[in-house]
Amino acid sequence: MDYRTLRNIDLNLLIVLDVLLRERSVTLAAKKLGRTQSAVSHALSRLRSTFDDKLLVRVGSNMEPTPRAKNLQKDLQRLLSSLRRFMDDTEQFLPRESTKMFTLEIPDFLSPLLRPLFVRFEHEAPNASLLIKKSNYSLLDTGKGVTIRLLPMSLSIPMGLKRSAFASCHWRTFVRKDHPIVQNWNQDAWSKYGHIKYQDSSNSNEGLESAMQNAGATQRIKAAVETFSMAMAMVEESDCLFSCLCFSNEIYNPNLISLPVPFATQDINFGLVWSETLEQDGAKKWFEELLRSSLSKSDEI
């Protein structure tokens, strides 16, 4: 592209030219632009020099555009409209029309959030698609497309990523609905029964184990699993207990109930993480709002 012809063009002059060609009057153009007549006359003089054409000439009591000005006017409105869109930092995103792929990276033990999230996603963005990935705390990059991660606020993130607080998780223990422990829930009962231990790369159990040591509680491990769904299936058909971090007190399984861990534990704060390149992206803003509203709905479903 040859940029030489653009060097001396002041975009503000093009705005003045657009108004002058509409109003056909320096006085009316000055009023519309909020400038003095002298400033608009000076701008017209510069425009004439830039385009080497008089652009507007007085005919009787009126000002009439030259043939060159008429040709310019045809493209000027389209040019200014394009510039407005180019400079507008509030991208309009229409979820119902979108065919984008959205990616959510989430710890497996927080998967109950997916139910209210997907209900809204399917309704609001029928043509878009959703990729759910298990969080990998040791592999953090800017990601591709519209990717949002759910990660502990205490986790260090590299440059190029942005983070915003999302919600606090608390420790709950899940048991089958008719478990005898429900009638006598205390620290001794906790230690009496076997436990399903959740273990993955997130080391999420560290907080629970530290709290157990402080309280003098013990935990007899009966089995270890790598996914939330495995633990839920095993607890439903056994006397074992399963403890993990949760956003809410519900797990959407009528055969299970959740109880507060019977000793003092510390909540874990989670945040949403995304690439800094998506900071003003309309699709990312919509997806983030969807996640936040799904969290508020998780206790209602």
Q: What is the pLDDT of residue 166?
A: 92
Distance (Å, whole) CA 120 – CA 118: 5
Distance (Å, whole) CA 201 – CA 5: 59
Q: What is the pLDDT of residue 301?
A: 34
Of 146, 142, 151, the residue nearest 103 (C-alpha): 146
Is 4-87 CATH 3.40.190.10? no
Per-residue pLDDT of the chain (301 residues; tens, 9 = 90+): 444 555 566 677 778 878 888 888 888 888 887 888 888 888 888 888 888 888 888 887 778 888 887 887 777 777 777 766 666 655 578 999 999 999 999 988 888 889 899 999 999 999 999 999 988 776 666 566 789 999 999 888 888 888 999 999 999 999 999 999 999 999 999 999 999 998 876 667 778 888 999 999 999 999 999 888 899 999 998 999 999 988 876 666 788 999 999 999 999 999 999 998 888 888 999 999 999 988 865 443 3
| Rounded alpha-carbon distances, angstroms, from residue 77 to 9, 84, 116 | 16, 11, 46
Locate CATH 1.10.10.10 in the chain.
4-87
Question: For domain 168-260, which architecture applies?
Answer: 3-Layer(aba) Sandwich (3.40)
Distance (Å, whole) CA 202 – CA 26: 69
Distance (Å, whole) CA 226 – CA 223: 10
Distance (Å, whole) CA 114 – CA 132: 9
Q: Which residue is it, tokens 């953090």?
A: 140
CB-based contacts of 197: which residues, under 8 Å, 6+ apart? 205, 219, 221, 223, 224, 225
Q: What is the pLDDT of residue 3?
A: 46
Q: Residue 264 CA to chain centroid, in angstroms?
A: 33
Decide: 161 and 142 in contact? Cβ < 8 Å. Answer: yes
Of 156, 230, 226, 238, the residue nearest 193 (C-alpha): 238
Q: What is the pLDDT of residue 196?
A: 94
Distance (Å, whole) CA 28 – CA 139: 62
Locate CATH 3.40.190.290 in the chain.
168-260
DSSP state of 90: S
Of 110, 30, 22, 93, the residue nearest 63 (C-alpha): 22
Largest CA distance in the chain: 104
> What homologous superfamily is domain 95-166+276-297 in, according to CATH?
Periplasmic binding protein-like II (3.40.190.10)
Q: What is the pLDDT of residue 269?
A: 92
